[in-house]
């Protein structure tokens, strides 16, 4: 029996915004390294465009519908570049074959996280786009269903009321059954070295329990962590990934992970805790992280992570203090480069330390404020909340 799970279960029906074209897509895994995406639009379309994603579409996507051609649409502004599929004849159906892809899309999510046991995480944000219909360009209101190979596990992205938000996450296809880890579930690549697997499981359990009780809000969707191992042969250790809507994904690589090492232990603990902080920052129905300078959510996540690591005894007070002092030193080096990513983390942490506030209390109030008003986190909200805390 093939496993099939449909997204948007148990959610109230949402009327699509005017102008958005209702569309469905089924993503079916048809072989170890192949998927099929079958789109069905509520009206015939003549062009389907998606924001560009490096060479992902030109190399890994093949239209299966006849009379469809691919066209890259360059633009001077990187966020305006598009990948388009042009139909000879307007049609309501459009199918693609998608093969496994190892590359990265510039400044974006990895399209395909591959696990050593054949499992795969597919980033669903790359399946959404605009259509052209009767000369008009319209956004889509896309809902997706998933079908895996016979007997395999399929974990769709977390369901949010906003269908578009639901797509900005990964769908997992593969043999693993997710393991419970505190308030989260964990899909762990079997190639993860034993000490590291235990560390990730323990850290995830401890941190998700701490965040759940400290930030006093149950998670809107269930948190799923996916850890894939890309290789254990290259030099050093690298951990790439991050938090998306309701999910944390990491890709591990490098032979240094084969042996237990305190620096790797600290890095993994900090990254898991940091990404989990973003999950709670975004655990809102409106507001959350927006266009404000990155130091607010990154420095905030650093501060929440250090607090959680220390309060749970995962780190000693000395380890936490060392980490903070290193951040202060790193911030000095980039203090005049506000667009440097180090600035957001190191100087961001320093700015939160300088507020001299209880971090859980501060972030509980920020989360409440963003949820209540729909305003994204920004510097003025931070100043207001911090001032209020000091005066009360
Ligand atoms: Zn972050």
Residue 64 has a pLDDT of 98
Residue 99 has a pLDDT of 97
Residue 15 has a pLDDT of 47
CA–centroid distance, residue 258 to ligand 1 (Å): 26
Domain boundary among 222, 246, 281: 281
CA–centroid distance, residue 274 to ligand 1 (Å): 6
CA–centroid distance, residue 339 to ligand 1 (Å): 15
Residue 392 has a pLDDT of 73
User: Are 190 and 301 within one domain?
Assistant: no
Q: Is the pLDDT of residue 8 over 60?
A: no
- Return the beta strands (E) in 134-286 as ranges: 136-150, 153-155, 170-174, 179-181, 184-188, 223-231, 238-244, 247-253
User: Are 62 and 140 within one domain?
Assistant: yes
CA–centroid distance, residue 82 to ligand 1 (Å): 27
User: Are 275 and 330 within one domain?
Assistant: no
Q: What is the mean pLDDT of residues 305-319?
A: 98
User: Are 25 and 133 within one domain?
Assistant: yes
3-state secondary structure of 162: coil
User: Are 188 and 169 within one domain?
Assistant: no
CA–centroid distance, residue 169 to ligand 1 (Å): 16
CA–centroid distance, residue 57 to ligand 1 (Å): 27
Residue 352 has a pLDDT of 97
Residue 65 has a pLDDT of 97
Q: What is the mean pLDDT of residues 216-224?
A: 84
Residue 19 has a pLDDT of 82
CA–centroid distance, residue 237 to ligand 1 (Å): 19
Tokens 């963003």 sit on residue: 370
Q: Is the pLDDT of residue 3 over 60?
A: no
Greatest Cα pair distance, the chain, in angstroms, is 67
CA–centroid distance, residue 302 to ligand 1 (Å): 8
Expressed as residue numbers, the domain containing 200 is: 179-281
Residue 378 has a pLDDT of 96
Q: What is the mean pLDDT of residues 83-92?
A: 97
Q: Is the pLDDT of residue 210 over 80?
A: yes
Q: Is the pLDDT of residue 5 over 70?
A: no
Residue 167 resides in a domain: yes
Q: Is the pLDDT of residue 10 over 50?
A: no
In angstroms and rounded to an integer, the radius of gyration of the C-alpha atoms of the chain is 22
Residue 84 resides in a domain: yes
User: Are 169 and 211 within one domain?
Assistant: no
The whole-angstrom separation of Cα 106 and Cα 156 is 24
Residue 289 resides in a domain: no
Q: What is the mean pLDDT of residues 142-169?
A: 91
User: Are 124 and 60 within one domain?
Assistant: yes
pLDDT-derived band at 6 (thresholds 50, 70, 90) equals very low
* Closest among 308, 310, 306 to 324, alpha carbons compared: 306
- Cβ(295)–Cβ(343) below 8 Å: yes
Q: What is the mean pLDDT of residues 337-354?
A: 94
pLDDT-derived band at 106 (thresholds 50, 70, 90) equals confident
The whole-angstrom separation of Cα 141 and Cα 167 is 11
pLDDT-derived band at 182 (thresholds 50, 70, 90) equals confident
Neighbours of 307 (CB within 10 A): 21
User: Are 108 and 218 within one domain?
Assistant: no
User: Are 136 and 191 within one domain?
Assistant: no
Residue 163 resides in a domain: yes
Q: Is the pLDDT of residue 167 over 70?
A: yes
Q: What is the mean pLDDT of residues 93-107?
A: 91
The whole-angstrom separation of Cα 187 and Cα 152 is 13
Residue 287 resides in a domain: no
What pLDDT digit, counting tens, does each position of 235-281 carry? 999 998 888 888 999 999 999 999 999 999 999 999 999 999 999 99
CA–centroid distance, residue 300 to ligand 1 (Å): 9
The whole-angstrom separation of Cα 306 and Cα 320 is 6
Q: Is the pLDDT of residue 341 over 90?
A: no
The half-sphere exposure of 83 on its side-chain side, counting CA atoms within 13 A, is 20
Residue 319 has a pLDDT of 97
CA–centroid distance, residue 306 to ligand 1 (Å): 13
User: Are 34 and 159 within one domain?
Assistant: yes
Neighbours of 368 (CB within 10 A): 15
Residue 39 resides in a domain: yes
What pLDDT digit, counting tens, does each position of 350-376 carry? 999 999 999 999 999 999 999 999 999
Q: What is the mean pLDDT of residues 315-323?
A: 97
CA–centroid distance, residue 384 to ligand 1 (Å): 23
pLDDT-derived band at 165 (thresholds 50, 70, 90) equals confident
Query: Which 8-state DSSP code applies to residue 117?
Result: T
Residue 217 has a pLDDT of 80
Phi, psi angle pair for 256, to nearest 5°: -60, -20
CA–centroid distance, residue 294 to ligand 1 (Å): 9
Domain boundary among 124, 153, 174: 174
Residue 79 has a pLDDT of 83
CA–centroid distance, residue 241 to ligand 1 (Å): 10
CA–centroid distance, residue 353 to ligand 1 (Å): 17
Residue 4 has a pLDDT of 37
3-state secondary structure of 7: coil
User: Are 211 and 310 within one domain?
Assistant: no
CA–centroid distance, residue 148 to ligand 1 (Å): 31
pTM for the structure as a whole:
0.87
The whole-angstrom separation of Cα 29 and Cα 3 is 11
CA–centroid distance, residue 279 to ligand 1 (Å): 10
User: Are 23 and 124 within one domain?
Assistant: yes
Residue 103 has a pLDDT of 86
Q: Average pLDDT over the chain, rounded to whole?
A: 91
Q: Which CATH number covers residue 138?
A: 2.60.40
Residue 108 has a pLDDT of 85
Q: How many domains does the chain have?
A: 3
With pLDDT > 70 as the criterion, what percentage of the chain qualifies? Answer: 95
CA–centroid distance, residue 221 to ligand 1 (Å): 20
């Amino acid at each position: 029996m093939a496993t099939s799970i449909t997204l948007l279960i148990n959610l109230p029906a949402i009327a699509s915004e005017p102008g958005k074209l209702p569309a469905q897509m089924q993503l079916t895994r048809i072989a170890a390294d192949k998927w099929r995406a079958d789109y069905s639009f509520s009206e015939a379309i003549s062009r389907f465009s998606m924001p560009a994603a490096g060479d992902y579409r030109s190399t890994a996507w093949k239209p299966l519908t006849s009379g469809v051609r691919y066209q890259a649409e360059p633009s001077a502004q990187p966020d305006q570049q598009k990948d388009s599929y042009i139909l000879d004849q307007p049609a309501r159906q459009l199918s693609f074959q998608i093969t496994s892809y190892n590359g990265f899309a510039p400044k974006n999510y990895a399209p395909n996280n591959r696990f050593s046991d054949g499992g795969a995480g597919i980033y669903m944000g790359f399946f959404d786009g605009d259509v052209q219909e009767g000369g008009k360009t319209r956004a889509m209101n896309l809902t997706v269903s998933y079908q895996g190979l016979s007997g395999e596990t399929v974990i769709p992205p977390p369901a949010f009321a906003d269908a578009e938000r639901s797509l900005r996450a990964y769908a997992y296809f593969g043999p693993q059954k997710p393991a419970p880890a505190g308030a989260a579930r964990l899909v762990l690549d079997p190639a993860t070295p034993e000490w590291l697997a235990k560390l990730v499981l323990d850290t995830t359990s401890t941190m998700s329990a701490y965040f759940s009780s400290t930030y006093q809000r149950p998670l809107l969707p269930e948190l799923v962590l996916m850890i894939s191992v890309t290789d254990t042969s290259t030099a050093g250790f690298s951990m790439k990934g991050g938090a998306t809507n309701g999910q944390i994904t990491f890709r591990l690589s490098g032979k240094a992970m084969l042996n237990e090492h305190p620096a790797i232990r600290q890095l993994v603990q900090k990254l898991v805790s940091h990404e989990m902080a973003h999950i709670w920052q975004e655990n809102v129905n409106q507001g959350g992280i927006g266009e404000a300078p990155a130091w607010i959510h990154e420095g905030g996540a650093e501060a929440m992570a250090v607090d959680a690591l220390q309060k749970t005894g995962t780190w000693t007070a000395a380890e936490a203090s060392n980490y903070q002092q290193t951040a202060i030193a790193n911030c000095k080096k980039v203090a005049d480069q506000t667009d440097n990513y180090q600035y957001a983390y190191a100087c961001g942490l320093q700015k939160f330390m300088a507020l001299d506030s209880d971090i859980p209390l501060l972030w509980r109030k920020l989360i409440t404020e963003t949820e209540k008003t729909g305003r994204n986190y920004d510097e003025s909200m931070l100043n207001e909340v911090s001032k209020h805390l000091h005066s009360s």
